[in-house]
Each structure stands twice: as C-alpha cells, then as structure tokens.
C-alpha cells in the first residue's frame, strides 16, 4: 500500500504516524493539499468493526478530516453497510485507491 499511495501525484505519506492523544497507530497519515486522511490497510485476519472503531477514535487526535480502510479485494455490500453510518469513514478496494485520493 505504501507504494500505491506514494505513486499518487500530490500525495504526502507518513508511515505509522504517532500522536500522544491516541493509542491507535494507523498505517498511514496521508495529506493531499489541506485534506488529512488516516489510511489503514485491512488484513484478512482483522475484523472490520475493530479497525473502524480505532480509526474513528483517532480522527480528532490526529487532526484528520477523514479515514479510509483499504481492502485488497472488491468492497462487498455487507462491508459497505458498516461505513454508511459515519461520513468521515470510507472503505475502498486497493484498485480504487488512486481515485479516492484524486476526488
């Protein structure tokens, strides 16, 4: 995911950022212009609700505008339902990552 993010024009990527205000450490903090996005690559072993709770709690301490969970496969309707409840969280497939940051 590091390479995919780094290849997007205009994107600045910090790997494994830390902040004293949150115990959660996302995989990446991505900056595009004035937009700050926490990005987490979901592995098959991770439960989606656990990942989303950590990201949601970390948004304000990291001063992020939004968060994105990236899955290696296409996004399923069941997974999308988890994100419909929070407009600061997004779920994208790896193949759609460039489009997410260019929108």
- pLDDT tens per residue across span 41-66: 877 667 777 888 889 999 999 999 99
Domains: count for the chain = 1
Q: What is the 8-class DSSP label of residue 73?
A: S
Share of the chain above pLDDT 90, in %: 54
Q: Which domain holds residue 39?
A: 2-102
Checking if the pLDDT of 79 tops 80, the result is no
Checking if the pLDDT of 17 tops 90, the result is yes
Checking if the pLDDT of 12 tops 90, the result is yes
CATH assignment of the domain containing 15: 3.40.1350.10
Count how many residues are written for the chain. 103
Asked if residues 51 and 42 have their Cβ atoms less than 8 Å apart, the reply is yes
Checking if the pLDDT of 69 tops 70, the result is yes
Mean pLDDT of 64-93: 81
Question: Could you tell me the CA-to-CA distances from 79 to 11, 59, 71, 82, 91 in Å, in that order?
Answer: 26, 20, 10, 6, 8
Give the pair of three-digit tokens for residue 71.
Answer: 């899955």
pLDDT value of residue 10 = 92
pLDDT value of residue 31 = 96
Checking if the pLDDT of 34 tops 90, the result is yes
pLDDT value of residue 15 = 95
């Amino acid at each position: 995911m590091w390479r995919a993010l780094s290849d997007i024009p205009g994107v600045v990527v910090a790997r494994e950022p830390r902040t004293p205000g949150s115990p959660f450490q996302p995989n990446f903090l991505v900056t595009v212009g004035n937009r700050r996005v926490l990005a987490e690559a979901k592995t098959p072993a991770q439960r989606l609700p656990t990942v989303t709770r950590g990201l949601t709690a970390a948004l304000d301490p990291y001063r992020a505008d939004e968060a994105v969970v990236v899955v290696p496969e296409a996004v399923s309707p069941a997974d999308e339902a988890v994100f419909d409840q929070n407009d600061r969280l997004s779920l994208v497939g790896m193949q759609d990552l460039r489009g997410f940051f260019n929108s």
